[in-house]
Amino acid sequence: MAEYHGQIQLALAGFYDVLTAEGTLFRTRARGNFRKKDLKPLVGDWVTFSAQTSKEGYILAIDQRKNSIVRPPVANVDQVIVVTAVKMPDWSSNLLDRQLVALEEKNIEPVIYFTKTDLLTREETASFADIVAGYREIGYQVVWPDEAFDETSLKTVEKLLGDKLTVLMGQTGAGKSTLLNHLSPELNLATGEVSQALSRGKHTTRQVSLIALYGGLVADTPGFSAFEVFDMPARELGQYFRELNDYASNCRFRGCVHLNEPNCAVKEAVSQGEIMASRYENYKLFYDLIAGRRPVYNKHDKKH
């Protein structure tokens, strides 16, 4: 039986469609020993598989992943476009910073794409200009459309897709599926209507697959990630805020966590307006959230 190497393009009901470098698509299944090892192939995985025909293959091994995300379940992601609404659902710097920290921790490059910008008043647009400038200053690529999904912003995204595996992520109702539909009208993804009463959307997407788009691959199931959980210890959180990291080497104490320590370069930069106040506030909130998690001990296990 011949052995091949390729990348998983589609995962559906226990079947995995794998595309080889030669451009041949094979339908495969995972061997049972993956289940025993608690290892599940993901879309985006590079795999070795054996096959007698294009419809009957078996995955033998999964190459080491450079990263993976949970929602949607995709491996070897190069960048995530974080689709962020400025209204309906309401703008939240807390949610955006959660997403950025989670992506930084996985070493995935974020791109921020703001939606619903045409719903803002002139005054709101002016105040958002500072927010956009702040994130750009940190080093993030920010796409700010003058009009919803205008040609300039779509062209910017198209250029970003080449030679990369990209995932779209953001709150339900922020416009992920709409953005994908604009980039590739033939996709015709179902878009979720935002419930105005609850500002919650309906999940409209099910399977995960990669589609070839503008010289790259895009996961056509947008992620619903709200990122409630941070995996890192509280002391390491600052590493995932780029601008805090930039100033940390000037702090008086090595291992400074930028909260109550004297001669902290980060707190000084915040007071001078060199670090966005909203980012620092979110850092403190996240730090408290992580530090506040205590191990739960069973009452009956106490030693007398």
The whole-chain average pLDDT of the chain stands at 87
Name the CATH superfamily housing domain 234-291: Probable gtpase engc; domain 3 (1.10.40.50)
Q: Which residues pair with 186 in a beta bridge?
A: none
- Statement: residue 238 has pLDDT above 90: yes
E strands, 174-248, are: 194-195, 200-201, 208-213, 216-219
pLDDT band at 97 (very low <50, low <70, confident <90, very high): very high
Distance of alpha carbon 174 from alpha carbon 172, whole angstroms: 6
pLDDT at 31: 85
Q: Residues comprising the binding site for GTP?
A: 115-118, 170-178
Average pLDDT over residues 93-119: 94
Q: What is the pLDDT of residues 53-91, one digit of tens each?
A: 999 999 999 999 999 988 889 999 999 999 999 998 889
pLDDT at 246: 94
Distances (CA, A) of 95 to 26, 101, 135, 165, 217: 39, 10, 14, 23, 26
Q: What is the pLDDT of residues 253-263, one digit of tens each?
A: 989 999 999 99
Residue 260: DSSP 8-state: S
Q: What is the pLDDT of residues 2-16, one digit of tens each?
A: 999 999 999 988 899
Q: What is the CA radius of gyration of the chain?
A: 22
71: closest CA among 170, 142, 160?
A: 170
- Statement: residue 282 has pLDDT above 90: yes
Separation of first and last alpha carbons in the chain: 63
Token pair of 4 as six digits = 């091949």
Between 41 and 223, residue with greater pLDDT: 41
Q: Residues comprising the binding site?
A: 115-118, 170-178, 251, 256, 258, 264
Residue 43: DSSP 8-state: B
16: closest CA among 52, 53, 55?
A: 55
Q: Which of 31-35, 110-114, 229-233 has the highest mean pLDDT?
A: 110-114
CATH code reported for the domain at 69-219: 3.40.50.300
Domain 2-64 top-level CATH class: mainly beta
Return the domain boundaries, the chain: 2-64, 69-219, 234-291
pLDDT at 34: 85
Q: How many CB atoms lie within 10 A of CB 92?
A: 13
Is 0.95 surpassed by the pTM of this model? no
Q: What is the pLDDT of residues 173-185, one digit of tens each?
A: 888 889 998 998 8
pLDDT band at 200 (very low <50, low <70, confident <90, very high): very low
Give me the phi and psi of 45, to 5 degrees please.
-65, 140
pLDDT band at 205 (very low <50, low <70, confident <90, very high): very low
Q: Residues comprising the binding site for Zn(2+)?
A: 251, 256, 258, 264
pLDDT at 189: 58
Give me the phi and psi of 187, to 5 degrees please.
-65, -45
- Statement: residue 208 has pLDDT above 90: no
Looking at 26-30, 206-210, 267-271, which range is the least confident one? 206-210
